[in-house]
Chains A and B, each alone.
Chain A
Amino acid sequence: MRSASALFILSFALSLSAQSPTYGLGRTPKPDEIKAWDFAISPDGKELPPGSGSAAEGAKIYTANCAGCHGKTGKEGPNDVLVGGQGTLNTSKPVKTVGSYWPYATTVWDYINRSMPYPKPGSLSADQVYAVTAYLLSLNGIIKEDAVLDAKTLPQVKMPNRNGFIGDPRPDWKSPSSSATSR
């Protein structure tokens, strides 16, 4: 009985200390301040904003903003190849693209929204980012040409390489194969 009440007091003290800040520096961010920066998109897509876009709309935006670096159809470069390569990852000439390698469609949306177009990141509207994402996924044959992507449909897109990633087995080598001994 005594130990039970001591335990109660102890746990109460711990929870109290966990609830009060030690240093009291800084302030609580306002909801609109959080909202302005809180656009990293998780695989379940809960941070995705309202809006929508189709592949057809995305084609025009892609041609105007993306084709210069990624090629007319996403295969030509000179920068990262975005289209094709499915079925090549276990061959002698793997081609890593959005279609063949990226495990989550939400990442495509997040990266375009965050970092692209390279000279003017953040310049595309949410609708435009949905549209370009739809265009790239349709060029890769992952969604239909007339599909419309939005906050609900995008996280449901199943990427071909969704299960293509494994953990870290390192150190994965043996000691140097030379038979030399150290003194």
Chain B
Amino acid sequence: MPQSPNRRKFLKSAVLAAGASAGRAQSTDGQPAPDDPTQAPGSLARAYGERSRFEKTVRTPSSTGTSSGAPLQDLNGIITPSALHFERHHSGVPDIDPRRHRLMIHGMLDRPLLLTMDELKRFPSVSRIHVMECSGNGFRNKGAKTAQEAHGLVSCSEWTGVPLSVLLREAGVQSGASWIVAEGSDAAKMTRSVPLTKAMNDVLLAYGQNGEAIRPEQGYPLRLFVPGWEGNISIKWLRRIKVVDQPYMTREETSKYTDLMPDGKARQFTFEMDPKSLITYPSGGQKLASPGFYEISGLAWSGRGVIKKVEVSVDGGRTWKDAQLQSPVLPIAFTRFRYGWKWDGSEAVLQSRCTDEHGDMQPVLADLVKARGDHWGYHFNPIQSWKVSADGSVQNALS
């Protein structure tokens, strides 16, 4: 039955009134959306997509511009959009022409190799979903207000590339070799040593991220990807691998990325990232509108494998309940967890703690301080607390 003009007019004004009472979102260009998107054709197909102009979540570059955190509190699922993947670089993001980029593999090899990107991409490849976390993620997060400020130097992508073992076998590793030295072509010529056993195990020479080329901030056109280990060892803008018989003791594995203990000795080659989780909703800076149902949601991961269990506490750690783990639960990847919660309107402290396949459970900060003292900062994985006040506001309560 066709609608009468009067009825259409009534419906339109009713929709307008509903829109007015719900308020309008601000777009990035300040232009409002049409009152009714069904009244005129929309825009035509475009060559490279962009998100809606009403979506504004962004990374937050540090004051020095050497890092930016992913907005974990605004993300769904387990994949971090490439444009929001955290950044950390030691001398800026280089501008590299992929046709001129070369990878050299030399040292203790029968056949050293020099490869173009096109040649590298002809080797057998794999795609794997893996988390990448900066060694210093969470470091000094006491003043941080949001999940992004506190823990944003972690992200998860699908990485595509050639297993390093394929190339090392192709080149023929000589006996006596025990480490590789990987070097980037950024201005820092970032360099780290990796044990050959790890290099032959699961390390990738990655050129793909979430289906397209790796972003410049992530190492375009080629990076080392070392699953589960502290981020900086996954050398970006990779140009060289030298097979050697000892670690080269570079600045980034002696002066930096080592942890000083109370007795004056420092832990070195602390590669693996420990099990860690945090609630991303509700989290610092957000506000609960009213008492009632909320789905607590968050992320858990371990550099040592699969997350077996995540527990949630809504009473500051006095009692714990199992959260649901969202499939797929992959090794060394974000695992999304969910827990239904009815907020009664009173003050609450929300926490999560994860346990990985080795039975290692995320610790409280006091236990880490007890084990390590006050002068460490890397590998910071304590239980994160968010305090919900009676007015619904949520604040960082890491203690």
Contacts and interface: CB of A to CB of B under 8 A. Distances in A.
Interface of A: 18-19, 21-23, 25-29, 33-34, 37-38, 40-44, 80, 89-92, 94, 96, 98, 101-104, 106-107, 110-111, 114-115, 118, 121, 164-178, 180-183
B343 interface: no
A168 B266 contact: no
A23 B170 contact: yes
A180 B91 contact: no
Closest 10 CB pairs of A and B: A90-B264, A89-B264, A173-B363, A26-B115, A29-B114, A111-B251, A165-B268, A173-B367, A172-B371, A168-B270
Contact of A23 (B122, B261, B263, B364): B122
Contact of B353 (A34, A37, A110, A176): A176
A171 B274 contact: yes
Given A170-B272, A174-B363, A182 B311 contact: yes
Given A22-B169, A166-B267, 14 more contacts: A25-B120, A28-B114, A33-B104, A40-B242, A101-B255, A107-B251, A107-B255, A111-B250, A121-B188, A164-B266, A170-B379, A171-B360, A173-B370, A176-B362
A174 B242 contact: no
B240 interface: yes
Given A29-B112, A107-B254, A114-B188, A101 B266 contact: yes
A40 B250 CA distance: 8
Contact of B367 (A170, A176, A180): A176
Interface of B: 90-91, 104, 106, 110-116, 119-120, 122-123, 169-172, 181, 183, 187-189, 191, 239-240, 242, 244, 246, 248-251, 254-255, 258, 260-272, 274, 311, 313, 317-322, 353, 360-364, 366-368, 370-372, 374-375, 379, 383
Contacts of A106: 249
Nearest to B171: A21
Nearest to A18: B172
Contacts of B242: 38, 40
B269 to A, nearest CB: 6
B268 A167 contact: yes
Contacts of B120: 25-26
Nearest to A121: B187
B256 to A, nearest CB: 9
